Structure 1
Amino acid sequence: MAPLPDYRPKQLSVGPLEAEILNIVWELGSVTVKDVHDRILADPNRELAYTSVTTVLRRLTDKGWLKCDKCGRAFFWRPLLTKQQAEVIKAHEQLQRFLAIGNPDIIAAFADSLDEAASTQIQAIAKRIQDARQAREEQ
């Protein structure tokens, strides 16, 4: 199980184009605007201005998802988190929002509506939590 990363972006929410470009950055590792623009335009049904890619990369940098480095005259963007770390952070935030409901009846009604596979998964999660707590107590 991946631990919750120490670093978090300033703003977790990203729009559809931001998410698409973030996925390209994760896939390529370090990118220029041209790298991202070429990747998007590889789909013959897509059109996107080069300046729009620049704007989105800067927005992702401002939100804390990317870091921009200048090398000579070129700018390179790289992710500050791995895709897996981002998924862990987003899952943690969703769980916190769910638990913030605070009403056990609502949460129990939700849990009661789950199918067998989901119920088994929740039981497995509860067991892992219990095991982790027990291991901490034994240290």
Structure 2
Amino acid sequence: MAPLPRYRPKQISLGPLEAEILEIIWEIRVATVKDIHDRILADPDRELAYASVTTVLRRLTQKGWLTCNKNNRAFYWEPLLSKSEAQAIQAYEQLHKFLAISNPDIVAAFADSLDTASLQQIAAIASKIEAVRRQREEQK
């Protein structure tokens, strides 16, 4: 996973359609409303108004996920973060929400329910945290 980027969107939470459209933009890098609308309507079971795509793109821009550039008469949207940067930010936010519970019994119950692979991942994370702490102490 990527390190936490310095840039953060104004609003982290995304609705299902916002997340879907952001995924499409990450795939094609730069997109017009038509590009996204066509991609969604490629599924014969889907219906979505062209104006709805425009609205969602504007919302994603206001939330700080996208930037919009105009070239001649066309508008092009680009992501301000890579997918891996977005995943790092979202994981960070989820971890902080979980730790905000600050009830040791809940955290312990969660830890007790983990499988062996998850416990190995947690042990690896703990090792990395310890290495970072040691490095910080050496720099002092």
Whole-angstrom distance in 2 between the partners of 1:2 and 1:126: 17
Whole-angstrom distance in 2 between the partners of 1:49 and 1:103: 46
Whole-angstrom distance in 2 between the partners of 1:103 and 1:76: 46
Total equivalences in the alignment: 139
Deviations 1:60-93 (A, max 9, x none): 1111110011111110000000000000000000
* Residue ranges of structure 1 left out of the alignment (5+ in a row): none
* Residue ranges of structure 2 left out of the alignment (5+ in a row): none
Deviations 1:82-126 (A, max 9, x none): 000000000000000111111222212221121111111111110
TM score, norm. by length of structure 1: 0.95
The alignment's C-alpha RMSD in Å is 1.1
User: Which residue is equivalent to 1:18?
Assistant: 18
Name the SS for the 2:89 alignment partner: helix
User: Which residue is equivalent to 1:59?
Assistant: 59
Whole-angstrom distance in 1 between the partners of 2:109 and 2:15: 32
Work out whether 1:123 is the aligned partner of 2:123.
yes
| Runs of 4+ with >6 A deviation | none
Whole-angstrom distance in 1 between the partners of 2:4 and 2:133: 16
Whole-angstrom distance in 1 between the partners of 2:10 and 2:138: 36
Q: CA deviation at 1:23?
A: 0.3
Whole-angstrom distance in 2 between the partners of 1:70 and 1:33: 12
Whole-angstrom distance in 2 between the partners of 1:128 and 1:114: 20
Work out whether 1:72 is the aligned partner of 2:72.
yes
User: Which residue is equivalent to 1:91?
Assistant: 91
TM score, norm. by length of structure 2: 0.94
Work out whether 1:40 is the aligned partner of 2:3.
no
